[in-house]
Structures are given as structure tokens and as C-alpha cells.
Amino acid sequence: MLYHYAYSEKDELIDINDVDKATHRGRRFRCPGCDGTMVARIGEHNEPHFAHLRLEGDIACNSETYLHKLAKKRLVQSWNDGSGNFKFNREIIQYCSEVNQCEFRNRYVDKSIDLLPNCSVTTSQREDLRNYYDTVNEEAPVKGKVADILLSSSHSNIPPLALEVHVKNPVSRDKISTGLRMIEFDIEDEMDIETIIKKGFDGFDRRRGQPRVRFWNFKPYIIGREHLEEQTSLGLGYYRFKFYKSGAGRCEFYDNYIISCATPLPEFGGTDKGSLIEMNIYWTGYGNTLLLGLVKCLEIGCSINNCHLCQYAVDDNPNEPGLFCKAYKKYGTPRNPNQKYANTCSKYWLNRDLIASIKKQLSITRIDIIKDGR
């Protein structure tokens, strides 16, 4: 990589294009990266650049150090002389002010989904750092760390902001965890530095599909739900479980019942007059929703005799239709008993292992008890 910047005899950072072609011979410059002596190479055939003076022996300079130090110097220089563009477009995510307390979301929405559509509004906001900050310092201490470039304000209500140069080593998680607001930008060559100075941080293109600029610890704006253009709605699928005094249980599936955060939580229709308990079971990954309902009834204190919960019962035997009793040969019980047979069966015994496994599933399953007629 050719070096186009160096320090002059007056300790000023200069561009090779600003060096007088007629008088450059004999002048000595310093490298921004290693502080070694440099000379200006301005010829007829090659691109003008600064080069290290080889008479000093081995040069321990590398492009990474050079770019990192140059970026800091050039940005501070352009801030102080007013030539730099410190504007950027920042993505603003405006969350519904009720998103964390929303009964609709907490009760019905899968928590693996961060937010439903319309729980937030994403916009872009143009910012100019000069409108907020009036002091710039290079390698400044802040929050127990050292910022590459620290912007601070004479107004106490405006927290400091760090500009972080990423050539090879990104901002550390430890630094991010301080809560310091930071703008981190990728630098691969001198052109990247000049692009920022001329066009601002949003003038960066995207390479390798990744953003060239990252914003750390910028808090999202919070807006009231009434300001969102649309309310969040959801087509709700659920199972209605019904438990009867006889000990029998039954499940029915209801698809695409529309509810939203703007409407009261629904009643889900009427209930069966003959049922003792009814409940809605949502988004379960467990294959047998009937068992979930029966074990939930056990959890809330119901006394249940049901063949589905017996240690001899098999619900998923592919060779037997419906419920299958493993003890029918040994004890003469029905091969395919009705679930209510447990009320009169002398061999009925709860399957504790099965119940324990279903209780684990219940802990992550959303259930609303609609009717309790005990």
C-alpha cells in the first residue's frame, strides 16, 4: 500500500499532493504509523507517495497501524478545520411503549419471536454530530477505557460519544458493555478515510454484505401504542380441552381466531354445559394435547381416573386403533378400553414418568382456563 500522508517538519499532517514538486528533494517527513523518517516520491511515471527512508535500517511499520493512526488524525483534523462531514443516517426503531407489559404479547406470542409486526416502527433519522458536540480529543479516557476519538459537549445533559476505528480489531465486548455510545467504522484503505470526511458516515458503501458502520448503545425511541399506524393482530390457533365429571377428556382445534392488541382478550365463545373444566391450549409442540389437558387438571387439584394416564396405556401404538392396554392378556382388561374404564378398573395405576414429562411441557405451554365448575 502506498502512503499518501506524512508529518511535515512543522509536525503537520500533510497530503502528498500538497508537497511542492520543485522543492521536495532533501526534505524529511515522519510516518504517522511508526514515526520513522520518510521522503516524498514525486516522479513522472509513478503515483506520488511517501516512502520510508531505508538508511534507517529495518522498518517496523505496517499498513494496519498506519491506517488506524491516520484515520484518527484525519478525522480530528477535519473536525477542527471544519472540512469534515460528521452527518449520518441512523436507523431508529420506535417500540410500542406497552411492548413489555402487553398482555396480548405476553399471553399469546411465541417468545422466540422478538417482536410481532407493528410492535415497532423503523425509520431513518439524519443526525449531525456537530449539533451536539463541541470538543474532540484523540485517545481520550472514558468509562475506564480509551476512546479512539472522543466527542464531548459543554452541555451536561449530552453524554460523550466515541468514534472507533476498525482496521483489524473490532470494538471489544468489554468496551461495549460500559454503555458508552460509539460509532464504529471499517477502514480498509486511505480512500475509506477520505470517504467519511467528505460524505459522512452514511456515505459508506456495503462490502461483503456487511454494514461499514455500527452504532453501539444508542437507545431506541419509545412511542405510545396509539401512535402506531396499525395495531398488531394475530390469527390464533388453539385447542379447546374439555374435562367431564366422568373422568373423560376431549379436545377440539380452532384455527385462525383473529385477536389483536387493540381488542379485549376474547371469550372464545361459549362452553359446554356438561363439562366440568374447559381450557384453551396454545402453540404446543407436544403431540398429544389431550394428555396436556388431563395433566393440567391434575395440577389444579382434580381427582382423575382416565386410562390415558395409566401405566399400562399406549396412545401411540401404530398397530392398534385408539387407546391400547398392555395388560389386557395378563389381567383380562379390554384391549382397547374407553378412557372412562379407569373408573372401574382394579389395575389402574398412574404413570408417574409420563406425568412428569408432560409437566415439563406444561411449563412452556400457554393455557387459559375458561371454565372451572368444581
Q: What is the pLDDT of residue 319?
A: 60
pLDDT in tens, 284-294: 566 688 999 99
189 and 207 fall within a common domain: yes
Cell triple for 126:
439524519
pLDDT at 59 over 70: no
Cell triple for 349:
395405576
Is residue 147 in a domain? yes
221 and 237 fall within a common domain: no
Residue 53, domain extent: 5-61
Is residue 15 in a domain? yes
Q: What is the pLDDT of residue 63?
A: 87
pTM for the model: 0.57
Higher pLDDT, 272 or 221: 272
For residues 108-122, average pLDDT: 60
pLDDT at 114 over 60: no
pLDDT at 350 over 90: yes
290 and 313 fall within a common domain: yes
Is residue 237 in a domain? yes
pLDDT at 110 over 70: no
Interatomic CA distance for residues 368 and 107, integer angstroms: 9
Is residue 66 in a domain? no
194 and 241 fall within a common domain: no
Q: Kindly report the average pLDDT of the chain as a whole number.
A: 84
pLDDT at 92 over 80: no
267 and 358 fall within a common domain: yes
pLDDT at 226 over 60: no
211 and 104 fall within a common domain: yes
Q: Are strands 233-243 and 249-260 parallel, antiparallel or unpaired?
A: antiparallel
pLDDT at 112 over 60: no
pLDDT in tens, 250-277: 988 877 666 666 664 555 567 888 999 9
- 121 pLDDT band, cuts 50/70/90, is confident
Last residue within a domain, chosen from 169, 191, 225: 225
216 and 237 fall within a common domain: no
DSSP 38: E
CB environment 328-366: b (16+ within 10 A), e (fewer) = eeeeebeeebebbbbeebeebeeeeebeeebeebbeebb
Is residue 76 in a domain? no
- 183 pLDDT band, cuts 50/70/90, is very high
β-bridge partners, 279:
241, 369
Q: Return the SS3 of 161.
A: strand
237 and 208 fall within a common domain: no
Is residue 73 in a domain? no
Q: What is the pLDDT of residue 264?
A: 47
pLDDT in tens, 301-334: 999 999 999 999 987 655 656 789 999 999 999 9
Neighbours of 159 (CB within 10 A): 14
Is residue 342 in a domain? yes
Interatomic CA distance for residues 4 and 15, integer angstroms: 6
pLDDT at 30 over 50: yes
What percent of the chain is predicted at pLDDT more than 70? 81
Last residue within a domain, chosen from 202, 225, 248: 225
Q: What is the pLDDT of residue 332?
A: 94
93 and 170 fall within a common domain: yes
Is residue 274 in a domain? yes
pLDDT in tens, 339-349: 999 999 999 99
pLDDT in tens, 96-107: 777 777 766 666
356 and 287 fall within a common domain: yes
For residues 194-207, average pLDDT: 75
CB 320 within 8 A of CB 312: no
Count: domains in the chain: 3
- 227 pLDDT band, cuts 50/70/90, is low
Q: What is the pLDDT of residue 353?
A: 95
What percent of the chain is predicted at pLDDT more than 90? 47
Q: Is 371 exposed, middle or buried (0-12, 13-18, 19+ CB in 10 A)?
A: middle
pLDDT at 216 over 60: yes
52 and 138 fall within a common domain: no
Interatomic CA distance for residues 174 and 177, integer angstroms: 5
Higher pLDDT, 63 or 341: 341
202 and 267 fall within a common domain: no
For residues 127-139, average pLDDT: 94
- 231 pLDDT band, cuts 50/70/90, is low
